[in-house]
Structure 1
């Protein structure tokens, strides 16, 4: 039509509709498509044809309907079986007989899916339908949010939420002044300066975040201007550096607009990857499917335990390492805080495999911070290891110490494809996040890995792993399901599983990790050769360990032997020098390692998410520890004190009070419990910020066993001291907090 391909023409018609919507009919564009490779008539007119625009909108509506059909596949109601869901009906019609218009590659894909889906066992089909619905609901909520819950609107919040709402929830970097413009170059960089008093210093953005950038026009929607996709490269108290996805040759907007806003963006690729992973599981050999679904148990080892001799390992660690290395199918390692699951266990797993086999290994984790820790751990094997491993990922999210190990840096001096192939084949160890590996699936066609070790596995949802694990002869998952799980948008009822066949394989809620499900299956079926847990931790003093050990870890945690330096430190009495003229608070801190300090609710808090009384008490505590350390001639570093609180608003309140007291923000680290997971500090101060009974629901994160995972993470970050601030009248209604207050307040 008009010398234009049908899909190109439809795309132009949709762009026309977008322009009409954005400019409310004030612009009447003439639409053309430029075929730059054509010699004859390269510029071709694409007239606005309403009938075809309506047809395109109808297709759009059908796609929305399909997304909702998929999201309606719930597994939580036995009276509504998955086989009768709208998703099941949709999949049953995805075959050549019902879709005769599909041709070419699309028809081949349709035929392959149809045959695969039709031949699935009943359990496999239910699993596929259940997780398809779960992923679709997460995708939908990421787009449109949850109405009425803290005003979260998902990606739609970009145009649905007001600027004041975004400021209140720390979701916008506003009033940024453009000071350097390199958007026409490669890389396309922009430098912005914060506007004092207007740009929120505590906006929830970090280096490496993906974002959208748009000009700020008072009273107008962000959609009234062009929106740019970007990545935050640097962010500090003075400036923000971003990199645009592509160079911009039209500079008009950057020349005319001085003030800009930045908001968070969403990558659909994360959800597409999960859909593909789910499909990849169904394509895996039957033995692999049975292994991951839990219907088939892991094989028993048929090789002798490898001889080990690594300095500094406990007997328990050595035994667990032997078991992990000889497990033929998989091994699950539960490592509570401070047990050395990464720094010791993963390091020596890689060490042994590297020196005693010819295997190629993949090392994965959920977060870039954990990947940094993996790199740090394996580099302890020796300087030579740098010649044998490659990191997959972006320099933006990589510790500078490991940037030279990135794949892009390694291939930069290579000029031929064969040279790149040789490099990839020669390197035996590859490291990265789950997401970065998913974006480099071609690696699996270029080289063969025999084993994968995944850290932070208890934070990874099943669909993020099911497409990866069947590729390997053996996998090792390392995690702690007593700590915080993956972040899930839908409520627990929506992700619950009531299907009896799925429950038999341990699938009771799809928000739980594969690690947790398989670990419990191993215990239930006595597959003792496929799992183990570490019980000796070297982080917490025994007095700090006491409560989480009793209520979260079934008294399975122990301090290190007293013959070791860490073990002696874990049993040592407080040896602080009491400062001259010490206050009652300072005297108490010199006497007790774990304290609960009662604080009143803040009736003046506009949102209920700040408590000025706790913020002021934290100022007292920071000053008190400063005086105690000075009197004891001990160094108080910027990473000595950590403050944990549930809300970003309370972080702002704390920093404000610290500033008024003359305490610089760099003297301690302040963050939410979710951000603190995996970290540790000598002193942890916890501001629970409880002003109303309804806040207990968000404060507490219970596992199926009743473990409060948020409180567990907060307490187990500390090495030497924990101080908890909260309202005892409100907290006492929760059993765990009531027990905590009773035990902490009792004299030892």
Structure 2
């Protein structure tokens, strides 16, 4: 529900408006940016208890105005102001200060309205006109309400009333024909993309036969996802949900199909390629599927080669007849139509650049007779292909319509199993593209319903007559219905809750949230300059052909003067590469193709990317234009979380009840030999852990040796039992590689095997993927059978659940379990006999995109099993239950740490863990309370330092703080001897603008000193940690906190992680008045006052003068 701001909230924002109004020394652009932030914050606060997701600030604003009954003149003025501020900030327009006064007055009036004021006259604010052409041919509408036109025939025409997003002009859209049924899915704030409407008047449009309507166009679906809903006899969006809840085992047909596709790509690149070598390479690329299919007796390798050979004969005959330059698997993103996808082959004519030909390869059997297809509008055609293949082509044509407006060409399905008629034309007809989008809209509406806890689709799936389902789905449907029917009310509520959470998370990942910017949609909705300014992308890159290896798809890009010095990328990150020019046509289009890739390496002046598609069109990289790189958040997906919920439903009831917490975990005491390296406490916890028969929860605070000591000891003992097969896992490749390092003593005897993608690990000798490139499949199968310790990431396991038909782990050890959402572990938890979860609920949890409201649930049956917040880990929920039920045999905490000096460790130990950590090394207690480095400035000799800095009229950065942080780092670095700076000094700050400010002040030193957010620091440590809080208002305080309640104590997990990264020293820099509004920072500052030193910015600056920058550019840094 939307709500009015409280008196305190509106007063706080009014105070900030007043400060900005008085800050005449600040640029008008920065003042506009701050006003925009306050306006956004007001709508975020007004919807902080609203479950609904919003595709844009405009849709959130419209919803609030409608829900709260904001006076029309005030609402219209505020909507115009939002558009004006957005354009001003995006285009970096500097207005005279006097011209901003109406904006200050209007925001003030808006905030006073929340306090009960009825307001002054708000007519005729002198803001620039933001109108659009009188009759736009394409527009985005933010819906306000629905009505209907009643025809004489008794029929109703739904009418959607709303505003044009770009101009705030009112509009009414009549939903005629196939778009009528869409009305039920439209609510306040829904965004509609409308293409080619017929304008009946300046503010009324109607759908015609040529109109296309796209529900929430920023929510992208894969073309194949939509196309697979068309089966001919039964076309239903429920197929998507059923596929997500089910699990497929690789069949002979899927293996052969993937091999044929890979060989086709190679034949296009080199028609003379030797078939047997191409087949072998293709098999090795899908080695896991091959091993599973062979294990299940579904195929033999000899038969695969024979079957593929038949297809290759057909392909060799077809390829000479394909005209044009071939690009294999080009990727396109079309937010104009709400879809994305990869086309098998795109043929382009050099003489006719606008002419494009789509070739979609299908290795399955073609229909034996012509198929008659009928669209919703009655158009019928006769084609020689299956319905889903025709609709797949319709979706691909939409991709080309968006990427290459006005393009022409043909589309063909290539049936490689058909020797007589392999190429079959697929007509490019508007009606079938409209049907495709109508199905897409149904799927998106279903996703939104599930995200907002409306479970009609699940109920329909549970009661659907299997006879009405496509034959290929009947067994899956019956299996799901049987499993779903066996759930009791509590289990069903649990399933509903996490399915809703998964869909809500995915939609928020797409469209963004107030605290996490624009989500994936910022890829096309934000301009290059905006991305550069906000440091969300790596922009203004130049391709370096001489340093690239195009044969292997390794491309090098050089940074230029305009490339941001700070960016969000690390080695191994997944990203999207595209040309700057691709975004020049507006906010709903990406011209041309994009490239999915992985960051292979990063240097001071370059980045190396590994393209997913190695057979790309090299001509695209021949131009002199700039390139940009955005994070590819879609790799997260919802499929694994929803599939895990399905796996939970299919599990035996006893296992479900155990995981819910209705059954106490069992324990059987064992006589455990004591390893020499363990302390008394570690040995006690090891014994309790090994006694657990179902699960054990080991809390490992920072520096307590949970991986290097405890995990290794658990594995070593379990290996003494020949029955045990151990699966070690964690969230990230880095964490899994640390597990491998802890088990280094097992490397040489074949006991340990590292699973993952080819370049996922730094331990190549352990990599199963590396072995799969050279060893024969029989030997690979033996390797899996012989391995006693399997190590892999949780995402890899969830993406390859069929792996469990090859291995049968008895015990799973999950490291960093508190960073994994509950659905992440469900599919694993139902497959193993015992789980040991190691984590720390006082450190940062899993990253969640959705707002807090989407994470909260309230129901007595869920509260009984500790399900109150869906963003908690399974580890945390079971730990809370175990403590509540006094299952002391099922959990334990390490309290001896080997990282921090005792003075550094004392505050987080008592404040967040309720204990005093014991030191494991003599130096931690015996080194003096001041650093033994006499050459340091006196301020920096203290192990605990707080520098009080003034507020600044800025958002996301504070120049005074940055100067002091950089000077501290430079002073410490100046005294370093025989110590890598990257291991010695870390600077933590919550905002990327502050990271940039500090990096520019440090100059070359920034390449050696890590400057990043606290989330990026989790799991690492440094000798000296400098924390720059960079908050300038009360509203920013919540951005640097991560609060939770544990054992009756409220803790700040972000602050805990920041403090516990340090071995020897912590320096906190920030505004004391603001920080002390937080009880945790207030307590910390009080602790530093007793045991360290507190000073102000002026005194610190004076003492650090030799290490301050004198560069005028940095002294007057502008953002």
TM-score (norm 1): 0.90
User: Aligned partners of 2:710, 2:811: CA distance in 1, in Å?
Assistant: 15
Map of 2:715 onto structure 1: 350
Deviations 1:110-162 (A, max 9, x none): 1211122122111100000010100000011111212x546x22221111111
Q: Give the 3 Å change call, closer, same or farther, for CA 295–70 of structure 1 in structure 2.
A: same
1:243-642 → structure 2 map (5 Å cutoff): 243-248=610-615, 250-256=617-623, 258-267=625-634, 270-301=637-668, 303-308=669-674, 310-379=675-744, 381=745, 384=748, 387-399=750-762, 402-415=763-776, 417-560=777-920, 566-574=921-929, 576=931, 579=934, 586-590=937-941, 592-603=942-953, 605=954, 608-626=955-973, 635=979, 637-642=981-986
Map of 1:214 onto structure 2: 578
Q: Give the 3 Å change call, closer, same or farther, for CA 357–51 of structure 1 in structure 2.
A: same
Q: Give the 3 Å change call, closer, same or farther, for CA 747–112 of structure 1 in structure 2.
A: closer
Given that 1:96 and 1:111 are in contact with CA atoms closer than 8 Å, whether structure 2 keeps it comes out as no
Q: Give the 3 Å change call, closer, same or farther, for CA 742–27 of structure 1 in structure 2.
A: same
* Residues 1:49 and 2:429 aligned together: yes
Map of 2:442 onto structure 1: 62
User: Aligned partners of 2:740, 2:816: CA distance in 1, in Å?
Assistant: 14
Deviations 1:76-97 (A, max 9, x none): xxxxxxxxxx21x322221464
Deviations 1:59-84 (A, max 9, x none): 111111111111111xxxxxxxxxxx
Given that 1:193 and 1:239 are in contact with CA atoms closer than 8 Å, whether structure 2 keeps it comes out as yes
For structure 1, which runs of at least 5 residues remain unmatched after alignment?
Answer: 74-85, 561-565
Q: Give the 3 Å change call, closer, same or farther, for CA 12–736 of structure 1 in structure 2.
A: same
User: Aligned partners of 2:923, 2:594: CA distance in 1, in Å?
Assistant: 58
Q: Give the 3 Å change call, closer, same or farther, for CA 747–60 of structure 1 in structure 2.
A: closer
Once the two structures are TM-superposed, the CA of residue 173 in structure 1 deviates from its matched residue by 1.7
Deviations 1:603-662 (A, max 9, x none): 3x3xx11111112112332243345557xxx75643111111111111111111112xxx
Q: Give the 3 Å change call, closer, same or farther, for CA 102–627 of structure 1 in structure 2.
A: closer
1:233 to 585, 600, 603: 600
For structure 2, which runs of at least 5 residues remain unmatched after alignment?
Answer: 1-381, 1093-1119
User: Aligned partners of 2:642, 2:981: CA distance in 1, in Å?
Assistant: 46
Map of 1:677 onto structure 2: 1018
Given that 1:281 and 1:467 are in contact with CA atoms closer than 8 Å, whether structure 2 keeps it comes out as yes
2:994 to 650, 653, 664: 650
TM-score (norm 2): 0.61
User: Aligned partners of 2:805, 2:1084: CA distance in 1, in Å?
Assistant: 53
* Residues 1:720 and 2:1084 aligned together: no
1:177-192 → structure 2 map (5 Å cutoff): 177-180=542-545, 187-192=552-557
User: Aligned partners of 1:637, 1:18: CA distance in 2, in Å?
Assistant: 48
User: Aligned partners of 1:180, 1:624: CA distance in 2, in Å?
Assistant: 41
Deviations 1:193-235 (A, max 9, x none): 222x112221211111111122221733561111121112122
In angstroms, what is the RMSD of aligned CA positions?
A: 2.2
Once the two structures are TM-superposed, the CA of residue 99 in structure 1 deviates from its matched residue by 6.3
Question: Aligned to 2:826, what secondary structure does the other structure show?
Answer: coil
Given that 1:626 and 1:636 are in contact with CA atoms closer than 8 Å, whether structure 2 keeps it comes out as no
User: Aligned partners of 1:368, 1:539: CA distance in 2, in Å?
Assistant: 23
Deviations 1:469-504 (A, max 9, x none): 111111100000010001111122221121111001
Given that 1:330 and 1:476 are in contact with CA atoms closer than 8 Å, whether structure 2 keeps it comes out as yes
User: Aligned partners of 2:830, 2:900: CA distance in 1, in Å?
Assistant: 38
User: Aligned partners of 1:48, 1:742: CA distance in 2, in Å?
Assistant: 71
User: Aligned partners of 1:623, 1:258: CA distance in 2, in Å?
Assistant: 37
User: Aligned partners of 2:547, 2:461: CA distance in 1, in Å?
Assistant: 48
Map of 2:1032 onto structure 1: 691
Deviations 1:339-384 (A, max 9, x none): 11111100111111123444110000112221121111111x4654
User: Aligned partners of 1:155, 1:332: CA distance in 2, in Å?
Assistant: 35
Map of 2:10 onto structure 1: none
Once the two structures are TM-superposed, the CA of residue 395 in structure 1 deviates from its matched residue by 4.8
Q: Give the 3 Å change call, closer, same or farther, for CA 747–510 of structure 1 in structure 2.
A: closer
Given that 1:215 and 1:257 are in contact with CA atoms closer than 8 Å, whether structure 2 keeps it comes out as no
The structure with the largest alpha-carbon Rg is 2
User: Aligned partners of 1:656, 1:573: CA distance in 2, in Å?
Assistant: 34
Map of 1:171 onto structure 2: 536
Once the two structures are TM-superposed, the CA of residue 244 in structure 1 deviates from its matched residue by 1.8
User: Aligned partners of 2:923, 2:573: CA distance in 1, in Å?
Assistant: 42
User: Aligned partners of 1:189, 1:626: CA distance in 2, in Å?
Assistant: 35
Given that 1:234 and 1:242 are in contact with CA atoms closer than 8 Å, whether structure 2 keeps it comes out as yes
User: Aligned partners of 2:1028, 2:842: CA distance in 1, in Å?
Assistant: 21
Given that 2:813 and 2:835 are in contact with CA atoms closer than 8 Å, whether structure 1 keeps it comes out as yes
User: Aligned partners of 2:536, 2:667: CA distance in 1, in Å?
Assistant: 51
Q: Give the 3 Å change call, closer, same or farther, for CA 643–112 of structure 1 in structure 2.
A: same
Map of 1:80 onto structure 2: none
Map of 2:461 onto structure 1: 94
Once the two structures are TM-superposed, the CA of residue 169 in structure 1 deviates from its matched residue by 2.3
User: Aligned partners of 1:184, 1:4: CA distance in 2, in Å?
Assistant: 39
User: Aligned partners of 1:289, 1:233: CA distance in 2, in Å?
Assistant: 41
User: Aligned partners of 1:394, 1:290: CA distance in 2, in Å?
Assistant: 34
Q: Give the 3 Å change call, closer, same or farther, for CA 101–49 of structure 1 in structure 2.
A: farther
User: Aligned partners of 2:645, 2:1091: CA distance in 1, in Å?
Assistant: 54
User: Aligned partners of 1:94, 1:569: CA distance in 2, in Å?
Assistant: 61
User: Aligned partners of 1:67, 1:126: CA distance in 2, in Å?
Assistant: 18
Given that 1:599 and 1:727 are in contact with CA atoms closer than 8 Å, whether structure 2 keeps it comes out as yes
Question: Aligned to 2:1044, what secondary structure does the other structure show?
Answer: coil
Given that 2:746 and 2:752 are in contact with CA atoms closer than 8 Å, whether structure 1 keeps it comes out as no
Q: Give the 3 Å change call, closer, same or farther, for CA 249–348 of structure 1 in structure 2.
A: closer
User: Aligned partners of 1:600, 1:395: CA distance in 2, in Å?
Assistant: 50
Q: Give the 3 Å change call, closer, same or farther, for CA 95–421 of structure 1 in structure 2.
A: same
User: Aligned partners of 1:664, 1:436: CA distance in 2, in Å?
Assistant: 37
Q: Give the 3 Å change call, closer, same or farther, for CA 475–43 of structure 1 in structure 2.
A: same
Q: Give the 3 Å change call, closer, same or farther, for CA 207–576 of structure 1 in structure 2.
A: closer
Q: Give the 3 Å change call, closer, same or farther, for CA 559–108 of structure 1 in structure 2.
A: same
User: Aligned partners of 1:235, 1:298: CA distance in 2, in Å?
Assistant: 46
Map of 2:191 onto structure 1: none
Deviations 1:16-52 (A, max 9, x none): 223223334x223333333344333333222233333
User: Aligned partners of 2:413, 2:976: CA distance in 1, in Å?
Assistant: 71
1:7 to 368, 383, 388: 388
Q: Which is further off, 12-21 or 273-282?
A: 12-21
